[in-house]
Amino acid sequence: MFSQVLQSILVVFLAVTISIGYFVAANWTLKLWGEKSNSSLPEKFKPWVFLFPALFLVSLYLIYPIIETVRLSFYNNSGRSFVGLDNYIWLLGDDEVKVAVRNNFMWLFIVPTISTGIGLVAAVLADRVWWGTFAKTLIFMPMAISFVGASVIWKFVYDLRPIDVDQIGLLNAILVKLGSEPMAWITIPFWNNFFLMIILIWIQTGFAMVILSAALRGLSSEVIEASRMDGASEFQIFYKIMIPQILSTIMVVWTTITIIVLKVFDIVVTMTNGQWDTGVLANLMFNWMFVGGDFGRGSLIALIIMIGVIPIMFWNIKRLRQEELI
Protein backbone atom coordinates (compact mmCIF):
# COMPACT_ATOMS: atom_id res chain seq x y z
CA MET A 1 0.00 0.00 0.00
CA PHE A 2 2.77 2.43 1.01
CA SER A 3 4.78 1.59 -2.11
CA GLN A 4 1.77 2.34 -4.34
CA VAL A 5 1.26 5.73 -2.67
CA LEU A 6 4.98 6.49 -3.03
CA GLN A 7 4.88 5.46 -6.68
CA SER A 8 1.88 7.73 -7.33
CA ILE A 9 3.64 10.68 -5.68
CA LEU A 10 6.76 10.00 -7.76
CA VAL A 11 4.74 9.91 -11.00
CA VAL A 12 3.05 13.23 -10.14
CA PHE A 13 6.42 14.78 -9.27
CA LEU A 14 7.98 13.60 -12.54
CA ALA A 15 5.01 14.87 -14.56
CA VAL A 16 5.19 18.33 -12.97
CA THR A 17 8.99 18.44 -13.36
CA ILE A 18 8.83 17.45 -17.03
CA SER A 19 6.09 20.03 -17.70
CA ILE A 20 8.07 22.85 -16.04
CA GLY A 21 11.24 21.71 -17.80
CA TYR A 22 9.52 21.71 -21.19
CA PHE A 23 8.09 25.19 -20.56
CA VAL A 24 11.47 26.64 -19.54
CA ALA A 25 13.39 24.91 -22.34
CA ALA A 26 10.84 25.97 -24.99
CA ASN A 27 10.91 29.61 -23.85
CA TRP A 28 14.71 29.66 -23.75
CA THR A 29 14.99 28.07 -27.21
CA LEU A 30 12.50 30.45 -28.79
CA LYS A 31 14.15 33.47 -27.16
CA LEU A 32 17.59 32.37 -28.35
CA TRP A 33 16.27 31.70 -31.85
CA GLY A 34 14.64 35.14 -31.98
CA GLU A 35 17.85 36.89 -30.89
CA LYS A 36 19.99 35.10 -33.46
CA SER A 37 17.57 35.26 -36.41
CA ASN A 38 16.27 38.75 -35.61
CA SER A 39 12.85 37.82 -37.05
CA SER A 40 9.29 37.38 -35.88
CA LEU A 41 9.22 33.71 -36.90
CA PRO A 42 9.79 32.36 -33.34
CA GLU A 43 6.73 34.30 -32.12
CA LYS A 44 4.61 32.64 -34.82
CA PHE A 45 5.89 29.21 -33.77
CA LYS A 46 5.31 29.81 -30.05
CA PRO A 47 1.61 28.73 -29.97
CA TRP A 48 2.46 25.48 -31.80
CA VAL A 49 5.36 24.77 -29.47
CA PHE A 50 3.10 24.92 -26.42
CA LEU A 51 0.26 23.10 -28.18
CA PHE A 52 2.55 20.25 -29.20
CA PRO A 53 2.33 18.25 -25.90
CA ALA A 54 -1.47 18.35 -25.98
CA LEU A 55 -1.60 17.44 -29.68
CA PHE A 56 0.89 14.64 -29.10
CA LEU A 57 -1.13 13.17 -26.22
CA VAL A 58 -4.39 13.45 -28.19
CA SER A 59 -2.75 11.62 -31.08
CA LEU A 60 -1.29 8.99 -28.78
CA TYR A 61 -4.39 8.29 -26.68
CA LEU A 62 -7.20 9.08 -29.14
CA ILE A 63 -6.19 8.99 -32.81
CA TYR A 64 -3.92 5.95 -32.56
CA PRO A 65 -6.52 3.82 -30.68
CA ILE A 66 -9.13 4.71 -33.34
CA ILE A 67 -6.81 3.59 -36.15
CA GLU A 68 -5.91 0.42 -34.26
CA THR A 69 -9.59 -0.35 -33.56
CA VAL A 70 -10.42 -0.03 -37.27
CA ARG A 71 -7.50 -2.30 -38.13
CA LEU A 72 -8.43 -4.97 -35.57
CA SER A 73 -12.02 -5.07 -36.86
CA PHE A 74 -10.66 -6.81 -39.99
CA TYR A 75 -8.74 -9.45 -38.00
CA ASN A 76 -9.66 -12.66 -36.17
CA ASN A 77 -10.14 -13.16 -32.43
CA SER A 78 -6.39 -13.07 -31.71
CA GLY A 79 -5.86 -9.96 -33.82
CA ARG A 80 -3.19 -11.67 -35.92
CA SER A 81 -4.94 -13.19 -38.94
CA PHE A 82 -6.68 -11.00 -41.53
CA VAL A 83 -10.28 -12.15 -42.10
CA GLY A 84 -11.55 -9.34 -44.33
CA LEU A 85 -15.24 -8.56 -43.90
CA ASP A 86 -16.08 -11.72 -41.90
CA ASN A 87 -16.62 -9.76 -38.69
CA TYR A 88 -18.86 -7.27 -40.49
CA ILE A 89 -20.94 -10.10 -41.98
CA TRP A 90 -21.26 -11.62 -38.50
CA LEU A 91 -22.36 -8.24 -37.10
CA LEU A 92 -25.19 -7.93 -39.61
CA GLY A 93 -26.54 -11.41 -38.93
CA ASP A 94 -26.03 -11.96 -35.19
CA ASP A 95 -29.26 -11.97 -33.13
CA GLU A 96 -27.51 -10.78 -29.96
CA VAL A 97 -26.18 -7.73 -31.78
CA LYS A 98 -29.67 -6.96 -33.13
CA VAL A 99 -31.10 -7.07 -29.59
CA ALA A 100 -28.30 -4.81 -28.33
CA VAL A 101 -28.88 -2.29 -31.15
CA ARG A 102 -32.63 -2.31 -30.43
CA ASN A 103 -31.98 -1.73 -26.74
CA ASN A 104 -29.53 1.08 -27.50
CA PHE A 105 -32.12 2.87 -29.63
CA MET A 106 -34.65 2.51 -26.82
CA TRP A 107 -32.17 3.94 -24.30
CA LEU A 108 -31.26 6.77 -26.70
CA PHE A 109 -34.85 7.84 -27.23
CA ILE A 110 -36.26 7.38 -23.73
CA VAL A 111 -33.52 8.28 -21.22
CA PRO A 112 -32.38 11.69 -22.60
CA THR A 113 -35.97 12.76 -23.34
CA ILE A 114 -37.41 11.87 -19.93
CA SER A 115 -34.34 13.07 -17.98
CA THR A 116 -34.35 16.42 -19.76
CA GLY A 117 -38.15 16.76 -19.47
CA ILE A 118 -38.31 15.99 -15.76
CA GLY A 119 -35.23 18.13 -15.12
CA LEU A 120 -36.85 21.08 -16.91
CA VAL A 121 -40.12 20.74 -14.99
CA ALA A 122 -38.23 20.39 -11.70
CA ALA A 123 -36.13 23.48 -12.50
CA VAL A 124 -39.26 25.55 -13.14
CA LEU A 125 -41.32 24.33 -10.19
CA ALA A 126 -38.52 24.28 -7.60
CA ASP A 127 -38.07 28.05 -7.88
CA ARG A 128 -41.74 28.64 -7.04
CA VAL A 129 -41.80 27.03 -3.58
CA TRP A 130 -39.98 27.99 -0.38
CA TRP A 131 -38.47 24.52 -0.03
CA GLY A 132 -37.19 24.55 -3.64
CA THR A 133 -33.51 24.49 -2.63
CA PHE A 134 -34.08 21.37 -0.53
CA ALA A 135 -35.97 19.73 -3.42
CA LYS A 136 -33.16 20.54 -5.85
CA THR A 137 -30.63 19.03 -3.45
CA LEU A 138 -32.61 15.79 -3.22
CA ILE A 139 -32.99 15.56 -7.01
CA PHE A 140 -29.31 16.32 -7.60
CA MET A 141 -27.95 13.90 -4.97
CA PRO A 142 -28.01 10.79 -7.24
CA MET A 143 -25.47 12.56 -9.49
CA ALA A 144 -22.93 12.08 -6.71
CA ILE A 145 -23.42 8.29 -6.82
CA SER A 146 -21.52 6.11 -9.26
CA PHE A 147 -23.48 4.06 -11.79
CA VAL A 148 -22.49 0.88 -9.97
CA GLY A 149 -23.54 2.33 -6.61
CA ALA A 150 -26.89 3.45 -8.03
CA SER A 151 -27.43 -0.01 -9.52
CA VAL A 152 -26.81 -1.64 -6.14
CA ILE A 153 -29.39 0.70 -4.58
CA TRP A 154 -31.96 -0.17 -7.23
CA LYS A 155 -31.23 -3.88 -6.83
CA PHE A 156 -32.91 -3.55 -3.45
CA VAL A 157 -35.91 -1.95 -5.16
CA TYR A 158 -36.30 -4.83 -7.63
CA ASP A 159 -35.07 -7.62 -5.34
CA LEU A 160 -36.99 -10.92 -5.34
CA ARG A 161 -36.97 -13.42 -2.49
CA PRO A 162 -38.76 -16.80 -2.21
CA ILE A 163 -42.49 -16.53 -1.53
CA ASP A 164 -42.16 -17.92 2.01
CA VAL A 165 -39.53 -15.29 2.92
CA ASP A 166 -40.10 -11.63 3.73
CA GLN A 167 -39.52 -9.48 0.65
CA ILE A 168 -36.81 -6.84 1.08
CA GLY A 169 -37.31 -5.47 -2.43
CA LEU A 170 -39.49 -2.35 -2.27
CA LEU A 171 -41.71 -3.20 -5.25
CA ASN A 172 -42.24 -6.81 -4.23
CA ALA A 173 -42.91 -5.82 -0.62
CA ILE A 174 -45.67 -3.51 -1.89
CA LEU A 175 -47.09 -6.27 -4.11
CA VAL A 176 -47.17 -8.74 -1.21
CA LYS A 177 -48.89 -6.17 1.02
CA LEU A 178 -51.52 -5.73 -1.68
CA GLY A 179 -52.06 -9.50 -1.83
CA SER A 180 -50.24 -10.17 -5.11
CA GLU A 181 -47.36 -12.51 -5.94
CA PRO A 182 -43.80 -11.07 -6.03
CA MET A 183 -42.24 -10.66 -9.48
CA ALA A 184 -38.74 -11.04 -10.92
CA TRP A 185 -38.77 -7.54 -12.39
CA ILE A 186 -35.43 -7.52 -14.16
CA THR A 187 -36.02 -10.87 -15.87
CA ILE A 188 -39.19 -9.81 -17.72
CA PRO A 189 -38.17 -9.62 -21.41
CA PHE A 190 -38.43 -6.20 -23.07
CA TRP A 191 -39.94 -4.47 -20.02
CA ASN A 192 -36.80 -5.12 -17.96
CA ASN A 193 -35.00 -2.60 -20.19
CA PHE A 194 -37.31 0.12 -18.90
CA PHE A 195 -36.59 -0.88 -15.30
CA LEU A 196 -32.86 -0.40 -16.02
CA MET A 197 -33.46 2.92 -17.78
CA ILE A 198 -35.15 4.27 -14.65
CA ILE A 199 -31.79 4.06 -12.87
CA LEU A 200 -30.02 6.31 -15.40
CA ILE A 201 -33.00 8.68 -15.52
CA TRP A 202 -32.83 8.90 -11.72
CA ILE A 203 -29.13 9.85 -11.97
CA GLN A 204 -29.22 12.25 -14.93
CA THR A 205 -32.36 14.20 -13.99
CA GLY A 206 -30.36 16.13 -11.39
CA PHE A 207 -27.78 17.12 -13.99
CA ALA A 208 -30.48 18.34 -16.38
CA MET A 209 -32.24 20.24 -13.59
CA VAL A 210 -29.13 22.14 -12.46
CA ILE A 211 -28.09 23.24 -15.97
CA LEU A 212 -31.62 24.22 -17.01
CA SER A 213 -32.25 26.01 -13.71
CA ALA A 214 -29.19 28.19 -14.37
CA ALA A 215 -30.49 28.92 -17.88
CA LEU A 216 -33.93 29.87 -16.53
CA ARG A 217 -32.40 32.28 -14.03
CA GLY A 218 -30.82 34.11 -16.96
CA LEU A 219 -34.20 34.91 -18.54
CA SER A 220 -35.50 38.47 -18.43
CA SER A 221 -37.99 38.84 -15.58
CA GLU A 222 -39.44 41.91 -17.33
CA VAL A 223 -40.52 39.82 -20.32
CA ILE A 224 -42.21 37.25 -18.09
CA GLU A 225 -43.99 39.90 -16.02
CA ALA A 226 -45.14 41.68 -19.19
CA SER A 227 -46.56 38.38 -20.47
CA ARG A 228 -48.53 37.92 -17.25
CA MET A 229 -49.89 41.44 -17.55
CA ASP A 230 -50.98 40.67 -21.12
CA GLY A 231 -53.02 37.74 -19.82
CA ALA A 232 -50.72 34.84 -20.66
CA SER A 233 -51.25 31.75 -18.52
CA GLU A 234 -48.39 30.07 -16.69
CA PHE A 235 -48.42 27.22 -19.22
CA GLN A 236 -48.24 29.70 -22.13
CA ILE A 237 -45.31 31.49 -20.46
CA PHE A 238 -43.55 28.17 -19.97
CA TYR A 239 -44.24 26.79 -23.45
CA LYS A 240 -44.02 29.95 -25.61
CA ILE A 241 -41.52 32.14 -23.74
CA MET A 242 -39.27 30.08 -21.47
CA ILE A 243 -38.64 27.05 -23.68
CA PRO A 244 -37.81 29.01 -26.90
CA GLN A 245 -35.29 31.16 -25.02
CA ILE A 246 -33.45 28.23 -23.43
CA LEU A 247 -33.89 25.81 -26.34
CA SER A 248 -30.15 25.76 -27.08
CA THR A 249 -29.41 24.81 -23.45
CA ILE A 250 -32.07 22.10 -23.59
CA MET A 251 -30.42 20.64 -26.70
CA VAL A 252 -26.97 20.72 -25.08
CA VAL A 253 -28.31 18.86 -22.04
CA TRP A 254 -30.15 16.37 -24.26
CA THR A 255 -27.09 15.63 -26.42
CA THR A 256 -24.82 15.33 -23.37
CA ILE A 257 -27.10 12.73 -21.81
CA THR A 258 -27.36 11.01 -25.20
CA ILE A 259 -23.57 10.58 -25.32
CA ILE A 260 -23.64 9.16 -21.78
CA VAL A 261 -26.38 6.72 -22.83
CA LEU A 262 -24.33 5.51 -25.83
CA LYS A 263 -21.58 4.54 -23.39
CA VAL A 264 -23.86 3.01 -20.76
CA PHE A 265 -22.27 -0.14 -19.39
CA ASP A 266 -22.06 -0.18 -15.60
CA ILE A 267 -25.79 -0.35 -14.98
CA VAL A 268 -26.41 -3.25 -17.35
CA VAL A 269 -23.43 -5.26 -16.07
CA THR A 270 -24.31 -4.72 -12.42
CA MET A 271 -28.03 -5.44 -12.78
CA THR A 272 -28.24 -8.23 -15.38
CA ASN A 273 -24.86 -8.63 -17.11
CA GLY A 274 -26.78 -8.42 -20.38
CA GLN A 275 -29.02 -11.42 -19.62
CA TRP A 276 -32.75 -11.62 -20.42
CA ASP A 277 -32.36 -9.47 -23.57
CA THR A 278 -31.02 -6.43 -21.71
CA GLY A 279 -27.63 -6.27 -23.43
CA VAL A 280 -26.38 -3.01 -24.98
CA LEU A 281 -23.49 -2.44 -27.37
CA ALA A 282 -20.99 -1.42 -24.67
CA ASN A 283 -21.81 -4.52 -22.64
CA LEU A 284 -21.56 -6.69 -25.76
CA MET A 285 -18.19 -5.16 -26.64
CA PHE A 286 -16.84 -5.91 -23.16
CA ASN A 287 -18.04 -9.51 -23.28
CA TRP A 288 -16.54 -10.21 -26.71
CA MET A 289 -13.24 -8.45 -26.12
CA PHE A 290 -12.39 -9.11 -22.47
CA VAL A 291 -14.50 -12.15 -21.54
CA GLY A 292 -14.50 -14.01 -24.85
CA GLY A 293 -11.07 -12.74 -25.93
CA ASP A 294 -12.23 -11.90 -29.47
CA PHE A 295 -10.43 -8.67 -30.35
CA GLY A 296 -11.80 -8.58 -33.89
CA ARG A 297 -15.49 -8.60 -33.02
CA GLY A 298 -14.96 -6.56 -29.86
CA SER A 299 -13.17 -3.85 -31.86
CA LEU A 300 -15.93 -3.80 -34.45
CA ILE A 301 -18.60 -3.23 -31.81
CA ALA A 302 -16.44 -0.47 -30.27
CA LEU A 303 -16.23 1.08 -33.73
CA ILE A 304 -20.04 1.07 -34.02
CA ILE A 305 -20.34 2.87 -30.65
CA MET A 306 -17.77 5.46 -31.76
CA ILE A 307 -19.60 6.05 -35.05
CA GLY A 308 -22.79 6.63 -33.05
CA VAL A 309 -21.13 9.19 -30.74
CA ILE A 310 -19.23 11.24 -33.34
CA PRO A 311 -22.24 12.79 -35.21
CA ILE A 312 -23.82 13.89 -31.93
CA MET A 313 -20.56 15.49 -30.78
CA PHE A 314 -20.07 17.34 -34.07
CA TRP A 315 -23.68 18.53 -34.03
CA ASN A 316 -23.23 19.79 -30.48
CA ILE A 317 -20.00 21.63 -31.39
CA LYS A 318 -21.61 23.15 -34.50
CA ARG A 319 -24.55 24.42 -32.45
CA LEU A 320 -22.25 25.98 -29.85
CA ARG A 321 -20.28 27.76 -32.57
CA GLN A 322 -23.48 29.11 -34.09
CA GLU A 323 -24.47 30.50 -30.68
CA GLU A 324 -21.09 32.23 -30.35
CA LEU A 325 -21.67 34.00 -33.66
CA ILE A 326 -25.05 35.34 -32.57
The dihedral of CA 265, 271, 275, 277: what is its sign?
negative
First-to-last C-alpha distance (Å) of the chain? 54
Tell me the pTM. Answer: 0.76
Residue 172's contacts (CB-CB under 8 Å, 6 or more residues apart) are 158, 159, 160, 161, 182, 183, 185
Question: What is the residue-level pLDDT of the chain in tens, covering all 326 positions?
Answer: 667 778 878 888 888 888 888 788 877 777 777 666 666 666 777 777 778 887 888 778 888 888 888 888 888 887 788 888 888 888 888 888 888 888 888 888 899 999 988 888 888 887 777 777 787 888 888 888 888 888 888 888 888 877 777 777 788 888 888 878 888 888 888 888 888 899 989 988 888 888 888 887 777 777 777 777 777 777 777 777 777 777 788 888 888 888 888 778 888 888 888 788 888 888 888 888 888 788 888 888 888 888 877 777 777 777 777 766 65
Residue 254's contacts (CB-CB under 8 Å, 6 or more residues apart) are 112, 113, 116
| Cα of 293 vs its chain's centroid, Å | 26
Output the CA–CA distances (angstroms, integers) from residue 77 to 32, 287, 305, in the order listed. 53, 13, 19
Q: Where are the beta strands (DSSP E) in the chain?
A: none
Encode pLDDT of 272-313 as tens digits.
887 888 888 888 888 888 887 888 888 888 888 888 777 777
Closest CA to 120 of 223, 252, 313, 312: 252
Q: What is the rounded CA–CA span in Å between residue 246 and residue 310?
A: 24
